[in-house]
């Protein structure tokens, strides 16, 4: 994770189709080149430009294993969506952290009945049929079970209703779905849960800082215009939940912006040539850019946070799982948590 503040001495200029740099050399069609040479079309010439914040998270190759006496050893975890890239990353992180992976997972109907091997662990896949009875039997065998959900947006609400009906605590990392209905389901059931569309701890810390700024300085950017670009792997079907959260903060700061104005990049060719995504991470990345411009176009602010790989999310998910287990064990009155609650706990690995 790299975090910096750069105030250029000279005016910076933009290319008329620029996006993000991702830290690599861009051609003449790049949108926001990350501080390199630019032309002066879309955003226009700036007399004063303040570039704030560029966060890039390279993949973490090795997760530190806890000591043999760690209290996390043996905590049972069931990962639904285990055949997906995010599910596999969570399983790897769970095994590295010493958690006990339950050899059962819910998947689509086409994969039902299959046994797959993930990170050296065999897992039996079950489709939509009979899920309630299957989950109840798993809970009977593993009373301290926590479910981790990284499935698909369309399954968010049905899955949450299943977990709540059976009474099993869960960590929901899947984005999308009807979020208001999701929270109501969990609240009515009194089940413990961590729900967050963003599991990356450092990105969540950035979001928390944005929330503080929005609360303490409402209207600070009144009159400013905003452009937002987000690039994710082509398999991501919905708009970035992180982008939505940041936009909400900017709206509180006085910036008018509608979610349908977000520029989504899903085409691999554009991601490499315009955004600057390394080719090896086309199937797993999250690049975001937010560009603010003053009414007279003499001042601009630019925020970036770029992630390659999935390790940052997998580690955060395991921290959330361990956090939730501790809350359950202590009989905490609060039942619904997010990743900011996990950060505030202050004892992440």
pLDDT in tens, the chain (349 residues): 433 333 333 333 333 333 333 344 333 333 333 333 333 333 333 333 334 444 454 443 433 443 433 556 689 999 999 999 899 999 999 999 999 999 999 998 899 999 999 989 999 999 999 999 999 999 999 999 999 999 988 999 999 999 999 999 999 998 889 999 999 999 999 999 999 988 999 999 999 999 999 999 999 999 999 999 999 999 888 889 889 999 999 999 999 999 999 999 999 999 999 999 999 999 999 999 999 999 999 999 999 999 999 999 999 999 999 999 999 999 999 999 999 999 988 766 6
Of 88, 126, 201, 236, catalytic: 236
Of 88, 126, 201, 232, catalytic: 232
Q: What pLDDT, on a 0 to 100 scale, did the predictor assign at position 48? A: 37
Q: What pLDDT, on a 0 to 100 scale, did the predictor assign at position 41? A: 34
Spatial contact of 299 and 49, defined as CB atoms under 8 Å apart: yes
**How far is Cα 270 from Cα 20, in angstroms, rounded to an integer?**
11
**How far is Cα 54 from Cα 35, in angstroms, rounded to an integer?**
10
Q: Which whole-number Å values give the CA distances from 272 to 7, 19, 32, 62, 81, in the listed order?
A: 27, 11, 13, 26, 28
Q: What pLDDT, on a 0 to 100 scale, did the predictor assign at position 25? A: 37
CA Rg, the chain, in Å? 21
Active site residue 288: no
Q: What pLDDT, on a 0 to 100 scale, did the predictor assign at position 203? A: 92
Q: What pLDDT, on a 0 to 100 scale, did the predictor assign at position 74? A: 86
Active site residue 232: yes
- The DSSP H or E segment spanning 184 is helix 179-189
Q: What pLDDT, on a 0 to 100 scale, did the predictor assign at position 229? A: 97
Q: What pLDDT, on a 0 to 100 scale, did the predictor assign at position 197? A: 83
**How far is Cα 85 from Cα 311, in angstroms, rounded to an integer?**
11
Q: In what order do the strands lie in the sheet with 146-149?
A: 100-101, 76-80, 146-149, 170-172, 193-195, 336-337
Query: Which two tokens mark 278?
Result: 């390394």
Q: What pLDDT, on a 0 to 100 scale, did the predictor assign at position 44? A: 37
**Cα–Cα–Cα angle for 317, 202, 70, nearest 5°?**
45
Q: Count of residues for the chain?
A: 349
Q: What pLDDT, on a 0 to 100 scale, did the predictor assign at position 47? A: 35
Spatial contact of 172 and 149, defined as CB atoms under 8 Å apart: yes
**How far is Cα 240 from Cα 23, in angstroms, rounded to an integer?**
21
């Amino acid at each position: 994770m790299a975090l910096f503040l750069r105030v250029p001495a000279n005016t910076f200029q933009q290319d008329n189709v620029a996006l993000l740099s991702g830290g690599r050399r861009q051609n003449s069609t790049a949108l926001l080149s990350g501080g390199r040479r630019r032309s002066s079309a879309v955003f226009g010439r700036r007399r004063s430009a303040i570039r704030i914040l560029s966060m890039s998270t390279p993949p973490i190759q090795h997760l530190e294993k806890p000591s043999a006496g760690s209290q996390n050893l043996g905590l049972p975890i069931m990962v639904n969506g285990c055949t997906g890239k995010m599910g596999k990353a969570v399983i790897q992180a769970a095994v590295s952290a010493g958690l006990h992976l339950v050899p059962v997972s819910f998947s689509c109907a086409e994969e039902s009945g299959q046994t797959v091997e993930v990170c050296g662990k065999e897992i039996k896949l079950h489709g939509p049929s009979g899920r309630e009875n299957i989950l109840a039997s798993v809970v009977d065998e593993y009373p301290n079970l926590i479910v981790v959900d990284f499935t698909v947006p369309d399954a968010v609400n049905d899955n949450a209703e299943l977990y709540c009906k059976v009474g099993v605590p869960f960590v929901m990392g899947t984005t999308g779905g009807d979020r208001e209905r999701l929270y109501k389901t969990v609240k009515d059931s009194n089940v413990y849960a961590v729900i967050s569309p963003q599991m990356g701890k450092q990105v969540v810390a950035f979001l928390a800082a944005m929330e503080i700024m929005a609360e303490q300085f409402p209207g600070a950017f009144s009159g400013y215009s905003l452009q937002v670009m987000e690039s994710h792997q082509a398999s991501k079907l919905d708009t970035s939940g992180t982008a939505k959260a940041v936009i909400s903060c900017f709206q509180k700061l006085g910036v008018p912006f509608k979610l349908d104005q977000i520029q989504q990049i899903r085409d691999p060719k554009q991601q490499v040539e315009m955004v600057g995504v390394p080719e090896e991470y086309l199937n797993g990345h999250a690049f975001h850019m937010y560009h603010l411009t003053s009414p007279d176009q003499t001042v601009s602010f630019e925020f970036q946070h770029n992630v390659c790989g999935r390790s940052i999310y997998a580690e955060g998910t395991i921290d959330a799982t361990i956090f939730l287990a501790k809350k359950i064990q202590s009989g905490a009155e609060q039942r619904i948590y997010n990743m900011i609650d996990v950060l505030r706990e202050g004892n992440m690995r």
